[in-house]
């Protein structure tokens, strides 16, 4: 088990990673009117922009959790953040709805790699009372980012 200081620094990075995933899943709803205007997408494409991420994310959570246990949690977290970051840049530069939908699918892959991995890293690196505190930080981060996402989406699109 890593030293106490290393564990808490790791928790900061795990919290930052999960923050990005949660903000991304909540920012989209507020951003939809601007996306419709900028990309001139159809109502069907709007639905796929919103739901493609969620479908892929939910479908792969258990798969990537098991793969992280088998091949390494830290490795899966790094790969997941890489996939998610590249897909986010891809989404940001999308010029049409189909490309944005593809980017959202890729974000779902990355997010599904990150979420279960952060949870298992917290569980594996903390014990006893510290584990309770670490899970409180992890859960509070998720709760806070659920609130921040729509605010950030509104700010970025106005």
Kindly state the percentage of the chain with pLDDT values over 70. Answer: 99
What is the domain-level CATH number for residue 85? Answer: 1.20.1250.20
Nearest to 113 by CA among 52, 72, 154, 158: 72
Nearest to 7 by CA among 113, 129, 126, 107: 126
State whether residue 96 is helix, strand or coil.
Answer: coil
Query: In total, how many domains does the chain have?
Result: 1
- Average pLDDT of the chain is 94
Residue 1 has pLDDT above 90, yes or no: no
pTM of the complete model beyond 0.85: yes
Q: Average pLDDT in the 40-56 region?
A: 95
Q: Let me know: does 81 contact 51? Beta carbons within 8 Å.
A: no
Chain segment 57-69, per-residue pLDDT in tens: 999 999 999 999 9
Residue 2 has pLDDT above 80, yes or no: no
Task: Give 4's pLDDT tier (boundaries 50, 70, 90).
Answer: confident
Chain segment 93-114, per-residue pLDDT in tens: 999 999 999 999 999 999 999 9
Chain segment 13-43, per-residue pLDDT in tens: 999 999 999 998 899 889 999 999 999 999 9
Task: Give 158's pLDDT tier (boundaries 50, 70, 90).
Answer: confident
Structural domain range at position 75:
4-157
Q: Average pLDDT in the 131-154 region?
A: 94
């Amino acid at each position: 088990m890593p030293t106490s200081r290393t564990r808490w620094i790791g928790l900061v990075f795990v919290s930052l990673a999960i923050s990005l995933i949660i903000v991304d899943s909540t920012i989209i709803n507020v951003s939809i009117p601007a996306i419709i205007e900028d990309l001139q997408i159809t109502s069907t494409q709007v639905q796929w922009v919103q739901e493609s991420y969620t479908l892929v994310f939910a479908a792969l959570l258990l798969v990537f959790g098991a793969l992280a246990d088998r091949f390494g949690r830290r490795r899966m977290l790094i790969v997941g953040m890489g996939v998610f970051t590249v897909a986010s840049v891809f989404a940001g530069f999308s010029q049409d709805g189909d490309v944005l939908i593809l980017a959202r699918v890729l974000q779902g892959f990355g997010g599904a790699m990150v979420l279960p991995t952060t949870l298992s890293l917290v569980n594996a690196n903390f014990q006893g009372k510290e584990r309770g505190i670490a899970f409180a930080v992890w859960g509070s981060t998720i709760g806070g980012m659920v609130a921040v996402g729509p605010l950030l989406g509104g700010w970025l699109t106005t």
